[in-house]
Amino acid sequence: MSDKKIRIGCASAFYGDSQLSARQLVEKGNIDYLVFDYLAEVTMGLLAKAKQRDERLGFAVDFVTVAMADVIEDCAKKGIKVVANAGGVNVPGCIAGLRKLCEAKGLSSKIAGVYGDDLADRRDELAGDLVELDSGATLPEKLASMNAYLGALPIAEALAAGADIVVTGRVVDSAVVIGPLMHEFGWALNDYDALAQAALAGHVLECGAQCTGGNFTDWHLVPDFSNMSYPIADVASDGSFTITIPPATGGLVTPGSVGEQILYEIGDPANYLLPDVACDFSNVQLEQVGENQLKVSGARGRAPGPAYKVCATWVDGYRLMGMAYIGGLRAADKARSSLNAWVERTRKVFDEKAWGDYRAVCIEVIGAEDTYGPHARSEQPREVMAKYGLHHNNRDALGFAAAEFAYLATSATPGMSGFGAGRVKPSPLIRVHSGLLDKNKVVVTIQLNDAVISEKTYPGESSQPAKGTRYKSMAADMGDCVTVSLEQLAYGRSGDKGNYANIGVIARKAEYLPYLSEQLSEQAVADYFAHTVKGKVTRFDLPGFNAFNFLMSEALGGGGSASLQVDSQGKALAQMLLSMEISLPRALLNRGWSRGDVSLHHTAL
């Protein structure tokens, strides 16, 4: 095995992430590659709309004008290559912007693009193939965008052709990391275990600082959020990697922080499916090898399958979202009374104008713990935010409702303010339609500077789903027990995929596993979230680092821009679950937990 190592730093988790992260990694990270992840499903729809307005747009403009304008000269000087999915729905436009930047700075960097993922013009041709994965629904007639999730191999080929910067359209998030590693280590297409490790490295890095202390359960231990660290993966030729941070920065790297990110936005950890490899993360091992240095190994891979995932976005009417402040005694009651009155007042007008009723109304009183449902503990706070979400087919109806909201200032309950920010406006309610498409039906283009150097398909071989690894039966001694919050026993991280939410839970100590395994059953978690989760709850086990993953369907009121809920992406669900009460022996609890304990033991199971 070669001693070669490749250091990859990630400077972006989403379109709009920090303007300072790239500079930190380039100056302090001693990196070989700088990567950026910009794209989400709804982002594709927004970029497509931007291109409709101006054909020069449709890519992540800030990548060119902010991030690369700041560091492109230093990247060229230090030999740092850049890979980003900043191309959106206009990769050639992104290449043109980068070439203009290089010309202005006197650079001769070679810039490549990978595209072919944009299938919007082929809607009628492909409609019969793209039934919705969950519901079996047909593809909507009018789409905002439709993109295949391409893989990493064309990125590797662009680098092999001499590219210094590679920009792509919609690829799987981890492809911006997998591609450079395929190129640097020369892995064969069937080196599946190495590819699975690369995919895991990409998954850990793709959300930026979420693996270095961002959104971490033990946030109070993070040294300095104002100087947040952006992550680096130091990757070996077998795909094993160490997560670390630039020196003199304020984040941290622990089994808890990285383990939480491994669990973020996944379903079955034994069947994490990508275009280049199908991954099994069930037995991943986490080893602290130094201060802010965590080695990650143990991912396994197999053949990826013959289909790309395709996501289409479409507009299903309009939504109106906003909130106002209410203070004083009985604030929650006042908030509900005012908002309900406004909704009923507008309904009468809708009926008179034959606009039809709201399709959905969601009123949540923030501060009264409405999102906790039956687990709320604050029934009568003295200050709240009265949040509303409305769905209607008619933009004019919501425009009327938005204007009429102001009547509450003088015509309803006392203590309401917050009208000075201006009237909120209706926006499209965007839903996502996901399906599978034969890879042979998607031609992928690689462009280097102005020339197209490759146009071809990337077929994939099928493999059988993995069964995963489950915990063996563990006896839980329930003698002399005390009840504590789950937070004392575990870390937690939650996320979303459409209308699915997932919650990852990691035991702080292996000794807690029997009690967590028994009391965090699928039914127990389903019961805990019965007020908001309308579908099935499935639990998956990850014995490699003492973890569980709960996948919950119909959990987010449509999810993302299709949801009217305040937490439309399930970001707070893990924090809510950490309030759940768990019983365990008093003697076990007294053996050393403290709020400052971030240790994680890896007892073999």
Please report, for the chain, the start and end positions of each structural domain, with discontinuous segments joined by +: 5-311+435-456, 329-414, 481-589
Instruction: State the pLDDT at residue 166.
Output: 98
Q: Give the chain's end-to-end CA distance (angstroms, integer).
A: 29
pTM of the model: 0.94
Q: Coil, helix or strand for 269? A: coil
Closest CA to 132 of 311, 278, 314, 304: 311
Instruction: State the pLDDT at residue 476.
Output: 82
Per residue in 354-410, pLDDT (tens digit) is 999 999 999 999 999 999 999 998 778 999 999 999 999 999 999 999 999 999 999
- Tell me if 499 sits within 8 A of 553, measured CB to CB: yes
Instruction: State the pLDDT at residue 592.
Output: 54
Length of the chain: 605
Closest CA to 228 of 505, 23, 508, 70: 23
Instruction: State the pLDDT at residue 270.
Output: 98
How many Å apart are CA 356 and CA 348, to the nearest integer?
10
Residue 320 structure tokens: 């109106």
Instruction: State the pLDDT at residue 604.
Output: 28
Compute φ and ψ for 325, nearest 5 degrees.
-90, 140
Instruction: State the pLDDT at residue 63.
Output: 98
- Tell me if 235 sits within 8 A of 246, measured CB to CB: no
Instruction: State the pLDDT at residue 420.
Output: 62
Closest CA to 260 of 567, 511, 492, 554: 492
The ranges of the chain with pLDDT < 70 are 1, 420-421, 591-605
Instruction: State the pLDDT at residue 388.
Output: 97
How many Å apart are CA 242 and CA 264, to the nearest integer?
18
Per residue in 147-186, pLDDT (tens digit) is 999 999 999 999 999 999 999 999 999 999 999 999 999 9
